[in-house]
Amino acid sequence: MTALITGASTGIGYELAKLFAKDGCGLILVARDRRKLDEVAAEMRKLSGQEVRVIAADLATPSSSEQVFREAGTVDFLVNNAGFGLGGDFAHTDLATELNMIQVNVASLVTLTKLFLIPMSERKRGRILNVASTAAFQPGPLMAVYYASKAFVLSFTEAVAEELRGTGVTVTALCPGPTASEFHTRAKIENTKLIKGKMIGMMTAAKVAEAGYRGMLAGKVVVIPGFLNKLGVQSLRIGPRALVRRAARKLQES
Ligand SMILES: NC(=O)c1ccc[n+]([C@@H]2O[C@H](COP(=O)([O-])OP(=O)(O)OC[C@H]3O[C@@H](n4cnc5c(N)ncnc54)[C@H](OP(=O)(O)O)[C@@H]3O)[C@@H](O)[C@H]2O)c1
């Protein structure tokens, strides 16, 4: 069995790679930083005793998904985990970074899902895990493009999951809340109330990965790790939308 994981060099993707490796699965690790990927690959080889390959690719480049697909060969598990965010009010954030974000978080995820789903459907076997976020359940003032990108991932994954029901292929959306990783520093949101307030009690990437991994193996459509995150999502579903927008803005303020 082989799993391809994007964004496997650190954070949630790295923890997911460990879970596959511990179960004796071969791996293909994708991210931009080849040196870091090589280090992770050496660790995963020791854990799994299986072949571990790396593909250094920038998923912000539109042609990179096809390149990854061509180099990968047969894959039993696809994990679309690579993603990033950007904080700030939309009138002043950098458009080029946001368009790259849409390419990584949305367009590359859709392309990789399509490319790998076709052979999985023919084999009537395969599992896909798409990493969304609890951000998917509400608009995100001061991080507008990121939240919208995750809403896309959730909606897209649920729709394809329904199309695939009973085919032997499953697709799962993992929706973590704030999780300890490099994500917040990279997104320049480490001083927001949401992240500062969560410094104690933020879920570990290992716990989030475990929930996603188990949910994917069980063929679940949506996985929200952690009781408080589940509760938060329920309150978003029943709360008036104007209130939800304002509360989300308050949390994203510094
Ligand atoms: N942390 C959270 O609070 C949180 C909450 C909900 C959802 N999520 C989602 O969980 C996923 C993983 O996040 P994380 O917290 O583990 O973040 P992270 O620690 O910043 O890791 C991100 C991973 O994605 C890779 N990546 C970033 N840009 C890439 C690109 N252009 N091409 C290829 N690979 C790229 C990074 O490697 P390179 O930099 O070497 O490319 C790294 O391996 C993301 O989709 C994120 O949106 C995170």
User: 11 alpha carbon to ligand 1 midpoint, in Å?
Assistant: 7
Active site annotation includes 213: no
Per-residue pLDDT of 163-193, as tens digits, reads 999 999 999 999 999 999 999 999 999 889 8
The pTM of the full predicted model, rounded to 2 decimals, is 0.97
Under 8 Å CB-to-CB from 192, ≥6 apart: which residues?
A: 87, 142, 251, 252, 253, 254
Please give the average per-residue pLDDT across 101-126, as a whole number.
98
What is the distance in A from the centroid of ligand 1 to the CA of 16? 12
Question: How crowded is residue 249: how many other Cβ atoms within 10 Å of its Cβ?
Answer: 15
pLDDT of residue 199: 60
pLDDT level of residue 200 (50, 70, 90 thresholds):
low
Q: What angle do CA 172, 193, 233 make, to 5 degrees?
A: 30
Residue 194 has pLDDT above 90, yes or no: no
Nearest CA to ligand 1 atom 39: 32
pLDDT digits (tens, 9 = 90+) for 15-28: 999 999 999 999 99
Tokens standing for residue 177: 């809340």
Report residues whose beta carbon is within 6 angstroms of any ligand 1 atom: 6-13, 31-33, 36, 58-60, 81-84, 104, 131, 133, 176, 178-179, 181-183, 186, 205
Q: Could you read off the pLDDT of 216-247 as tens digits, one per residue?
A: 999 999 999 999 999 999 999 999 999 999 99
Tell me: pLDDT of 197 over 90: no
Domain 2-252 has CATH 3.40.605.10: no
